[in-house]
Amino acid sequence: MGNEIGIKTRILGLTGKVSDIKIAVTAADKIRNLAELEPPEDINLKRMAEWALNYLIETPRKHLNYEPVFQCHPLKCPPVPATKDVVVPCDTDARMEWEWYYMREITGSKRGQDVEEAFHRRMRGYINDEGLVWCHVGCYNEGLIDAEYNEDDYAIHIWGATKILKSLSEDYIRRGNPGSKELAVKVMRALKKLAIWDENGRCWFAGGMGALRADGTPVPNGWNKHPAPIIEPLITYWQATGDEEGLEFAIAYANGIMESAQPGGLVFKPDGSFAGHSHATMHSIWGIAHLGIILNEDKYIEFAKKAWDFMLTRGTGTGWFPAGPDNCNETCCLSDMMSVASMIARWGYTEYFDYIERYMRNYTSNLQFIITPEFEEYYKEINKDAGIEKIMQGLRELKKFQGGIIGGSGLNDYENELLGGASGFEMFGCCAPEGMRAIYTTWVNTINRWPESRLGPAGVYVNMSFSRDSEWGRVVSFMPEEGRLTVKAKVADRFLVRPPHWVPKEEVRAFINTRPVKVLWFGDYVAFDANIGDELSITYPLISFIHEVEGLWKKEAARPDLKMTFKWVGNMVVSVDPAPSKTPLFTGKPRVLPGFKE
């Protein structure tokens, strides 16, 4: 994956071949203070979260007990079903519930609190007196959109329970609600009782992530071989409550996954490869990686890293990852790859922060659904046979979905034209909120204060080039115009600022305010001892290069001939060949959203 360029420089994390590496912008030897200049427009994570709140507030349908929508087809007229959506319960809604907490943390907004409270009540309604989560199995059969379920079809919903456990724990952490803590304890203990334990202290569920009948036997389904994504919720539960029982459960389940303890369950080969659904698998791996950070144990991180690196071989490195078959991308998996990468990066593989930045710049931000004048004209044209009244009604409905993240997309466009249009320009109810999690992953890892670790000493870490305000300092990105990252300190502390991994250390410059200073390295970070108000900057050469990928689309896509050529500047794709014929993903500049207006 790495390509040697020059003396010490490598470009990592890209499948295929890298060539024609050039310095696009040289490193600045002199800089000006922030007050004297206007940085270039770049991705605004807070604005993305404000738009995401629109989706969270507007899509739950009050007359259906605040049920949101899984089946949103932005190019169809009408775009969404008028009645109940059987795929939603304990999946779309359970995923969305986390995002209320994350998007509010980013924005500080109080919009839509009445909808949020009603939504939380909806989710609590799945929990019975014993702490079991009961629901029909519609989300496990997402292709059967016209299926009808009644109470006889209800089962113990493992997938939904893991999501609800994390939501309850987040609620207690953020709002101190004792009722949420009480419910979280009940749900955790109910799940632990359902788990099967062996003499080696490992555990698993009889149906993996799938549903169980009242007697504990699995409801037959193709998802059952995949492990439940319970480890991350158990970690959040432990962080919220301090209950060691939850952490012990997480360790036992992680060991069960790593040692293939579940009979008939997913098997990971020594190289990290697996034969499972990309998102369903990596969603569980996220918790294993986080467990490594919590326990300070290498085996969990290394296991997660092998699985992550295997998934990278199936993707391009731009942010495109196959859902399972090789003919479509899935935002759920992309978000998982970002979450896992954040944990691997904190273990000292700091180049994984660049991978998060790439996936945000090239996919997540570009796929956030906003109705533009161009989209309106496109929608009117492709639906002209429906008549103007239905078209306008469809556009009004789609305004509610603004801020969600498109779930199915292509290699160079929204529509996935190169791979036969499979799942192109679809806003699946699973992906729309999971893409919001990607926003949160990026936001929380751009700047944070961390204790001493493999990264370096305790201090404020600036890991990626995104503009973001925080309690520790204001980060200012100068992408895509130059290689410069500045943070204005709000606290007196040690700051550690990371240039991209592909920058030779000898090419990095450091400044306090406008004064050049000696570059002091701690691992992959430039260290500053800051006073309040100091502007701490690094500059570095911004590179451009060509990246070629082929051979990934031989099976379901039936495109063994397809070769993609991407031109990069830094961590951003600026052009692609073949060029898109419809809605482009890459425009040569960062996606700058309009400000949200209520």
390 in a structural domain: no
Quote the domain boundaries for residue 534.
Answer: 27-44+455-542
Return the SS3 of 547: strand
Domain at 531, CATH number: 2.60.40
**CA–CA separation, 494 and 235 (whole Å):** 29
β-pair partners for 448:
461
- Domain membership flag for residue 142: yes
The stretch 152-179 carries a mean pLDDT of 97
Q: pLDDT tens digit string along 488-522?
A: 999 999 999 999 999 999 999 999 999 999 999 99
Q: Taking Cα atoms as reference points, which of 39, 24, 26, 27 lies closest to residue 535?
A: 39
Q: What is the pLDDT of residue 5?
A: 43
595 Cβ neighbours under 8 A, 6+ residues apart: 47, 50
Q: Which residue shows structure tokens 């698998």? A: 281
Structure tokens at 62: 């009050």
DSSP codes joined into one string, 246-312? HHHHHHHHHHHHHTT-STT-----TTS---S-HHHHHHHHHHHHHHHHHHT-HHHHHHHHHHHHHHH
282 and 137 together in one domain: yes
Total length of the chain: 598
What pLDDT band is residue 4 in, cutting at 50, 70 and 90? very low
Integer CA distances (angstroms), 576 to 36, 204, 582, in order: 36, 44, 13
Residues 144 and 39 in one domain: no
8 Å CB contact between 451 and 28: no
Asked whether residue 270 falls in the same domain as residue 146, the answer is yes
Please say which residue of 262, 297, 314 terminates a domain: 314
Looking at the fold, whether 151 and 294 belong to one and the same domain comes out as yes
The domain boundary residue, chosen from 289, 314, 339? 314
What are the angstrom distances between the C-alpha of 12 and each of 3, 478, 497? 7, 22, 20
What percent of the chain stands above pLDDT 90? 96
Tell me, yes or no, whether 208 lies in a domain.
yes
Looking at the structure, tell me whether residues 290 and 174 fall in a common domain. yes
Last residue of a domain, one of 314, 341, 368: 314
94, 167 in Cβ contact below 8 A? yes
- For position 8, what pLDDT does the model report? 56
- Asked, for residue 359, whether it belongs to a domain, the answer is no
Residue 310 domain flag = yes
Indicate the average pLDDT of the chain: 96
Residue range 182-204, pLDDT digits in tens: 999 999 999 999 999 999 999 99
- Is residue 217 classed as helix, strand or coil in its secondary structure? coil
Asked whether residue 2 carries a pLDDT value surpassing 80, the answer given is no
C-alpha distances out from residue 429 to 344, 403, 407, Å: 28, 12, 8
Give the span between the Cα atoms of 474 and 535, in whole angstroms: 9
Question: Stretch 457-470: mean pLDDT, rounded?
Answer: 98
Instruction: Copy the structure tokens of residue 477.
Output: 């990105």
pTM of the predicted protein model:
0.97
The residue-averaged pLDDT of 102-128 equals 98
Q: What is the mean pLDDT of residues 214-230?
A: 96
- Distance CA(5)–CA(19), nearest Å, equals 9
pLDDT in tens, 233-243: 999 999 999 99
Q: What is the mean pLDDT of residues 541-569?
A: 96
**Residue 381 confidence (pLDDT) above 70:** yes
Q: What's the CA gap between 13 and 305, in Å, rounded?
A: 12
**Confidence bin at 1 (pLDDT 50/70/90):** very low
586 part of a folded domain: no
Per-position DSSP letters for 64-95, written without gaps between them: GTSB--SEE-TTSSS-S-SS--TTIIIIIHHH
| Whole-number Å distance between alpha carbons of 586 and 575 | 6
Contact by Cβ (8 Å): 69, 95: no
Which tens digits make up the pLDDT trace of 434-445?
999 999 999 999
Is residue 255 a part of any domain in this protein? yes
Contact 318, 362 (CB under 8 A): yes
Question: What's the rounded mean pLDDT across residues 101-105?
Answer: 98
* SS3 (DSSP) at 313: helix
pLDDT tens digits, one per residue of 49-89: 999 999 999 999 999 999 999 999 999 999 999 999 999 99
Identify the pLDDT of residue 597.
82
DSSP assignment of 347-399 equals TT-THHHHHHHHHIIIIITTTB----HHHHHHHHHHTGGG-HHHHHHHHHHHH
pLDDT value for 362 = 98
- Mean pLDDT along residues 536-541: 98
38 and 131 co-located in one domain: no
d(CA 344, CA 508): 24
280-317 pLDDT, tens per residue? Answer: 999 999 999 999 999 999 999 999 999 999 999 999 99
Q: Which residues contact 431 (CB under 8 A, 6 or more apart)?
A: 330, 331, 332, 405, 406, 407, 408
CATH number assigned to the domain comprising residue 147: 1.50.10.20
For residues 32 and 145, membership in a common domain is answered with no
The answer to whether residue 274 is domain-embedded is yes
Residues 39 and 135 reside in one and the same domain: no
Question: How many domains, the chain?
Answer: 2
580-581-587-593 Cα dihedral, nearest 10 degrees:
-120
Exposed (0-12), middle (13-18) or buried (19+): which is 110, by Cβ within 10 Å? exposed
Give the residue from 219, 245, 581 showing the smallest Cα distance to 414.
581
